[in-house]
């Protein structure tokens, strides 16, 4: 079980698309910010491939989804959202993406990075979108070794961004989990964040019910009491 502790002041969340963090970790983000921990988001794409209305241009969708993600972030106490602008549906874990995530890590200097799993989850294939896998791989490489290595991405040193060592990586949608966060008190904030993504959610009640069922299952798997809600992650010590 996660509990607030000394030494964690900043958490960086990396995700592939607007709404990914809200499905996977918004309850946790709200639990972090309510204890005074600063959380910022780094979203790899603008989500322009989302939505099913052909009358909406992709540029309009990208703008809409950026606005929705900013509104969702506000619901859980996050004030800063960075969009890297990579093409939705075509993300690759290449050097450019590693560098761009490393730039954010070195600028923000978090103790914890929360990111998608780079490992495909065959039992929940929808959690393993190729953009998620690529963003997770690039974020993992940014945590280790890129952000701490002064000789990785020398252009970042030229920008004045000194190396930084992240203490922990928390992995979303991992087939293996070893960390649970109690979101019983922050679940409604998670739902409020999710419902900010109006362009992507056709049936808000069904989404809320599905999220509650998932949180109940996660709490049960973590040995929590009846009625508790949780989000679960794989915690990796990266020091």
Which residues of the chain fall short of a pLDDT of 50? none
C-alpha dist (Å) from residue 179 to 106, 151, 182, 222? 25, 33, 10, 8
Q: What's the confidence (pLDDT) of residue 126?
A: 86
For the chain, strand residue ranges (E) read 10-15, 38-45, 80-86, 112-116, 168-172, 179-182, 230-237
Q: What are the boundaries of each domain within the chain?
A: 10-237
Q: Give per-residue pLDDT as tens, 157-193.
A: 999 999 999 999 999 999 999 999 999 999 999 999 9
pTM of this structure: 0.97
Q: Give per-residue pLDDT as tens, 13-26.
A: 999 999 999 999 99
CATH number of 10-237: 3.40.50.10320
Q: What's the confidence (pLDDT) of residue 237?
A: 97
Sign of the CA dihedral with 77 first, then 80, 86, and 87 last: positive
In total, the chain counts a number of residues equal to 239
Q: What's the confidence (pLDDT) of residue 6?
A: 82
Enclosing H/E stretch for 103: helix 95-108
């Amino acid at each position: 079980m996660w509990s607030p502790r000394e030494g964690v002041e900043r958490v960086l969340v990396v995700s592939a698309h607007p709404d990914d963090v809200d499905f996977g970790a918004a309850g946790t983000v709200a639990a972090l910010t309510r204890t005074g921990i600063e959380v910022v988001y780094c979203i790899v794409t603008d989500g322009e491939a989302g939505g099913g209305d052909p009358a909406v241009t992709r540029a309009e969708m990208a703008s809409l989804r950026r606005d929705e993600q900013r509104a969702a972030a506000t619901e859980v106490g996050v004030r800063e959202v960075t969009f890297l602008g990579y093409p939705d549906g075509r993300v690759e874990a290449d050097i450019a993406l590693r560098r761009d995530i490393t730039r954010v890590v070195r600028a923000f200097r978090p103790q914890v990075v929360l990111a998608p799993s780079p490992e495909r989850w065959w039992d929940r294939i929808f959690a393993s979108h190729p953009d998620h896998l690529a963003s997770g791989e690039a974020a993992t490489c940014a945590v280790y070794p890129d952000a701490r290595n002064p000789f990785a991405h020398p252009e970042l040193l030229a920008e004045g961004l000194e190396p930084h060592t992240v203490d922990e990586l928390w992995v979303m949608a991992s087939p293996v989990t070893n960390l649970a966060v109690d979101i019983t008190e922050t679940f409604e904030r998670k739902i409020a964040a999710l419902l900010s993504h109006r362009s992507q959610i056709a049936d808000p009640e069904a989404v809320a019910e599905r999220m509650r069922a998932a949180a109940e299952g996660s709490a049960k798997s973590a040995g929590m009491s009846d009625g508790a809600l949780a989000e679960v992650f794989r915690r990796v010590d990266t020091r």
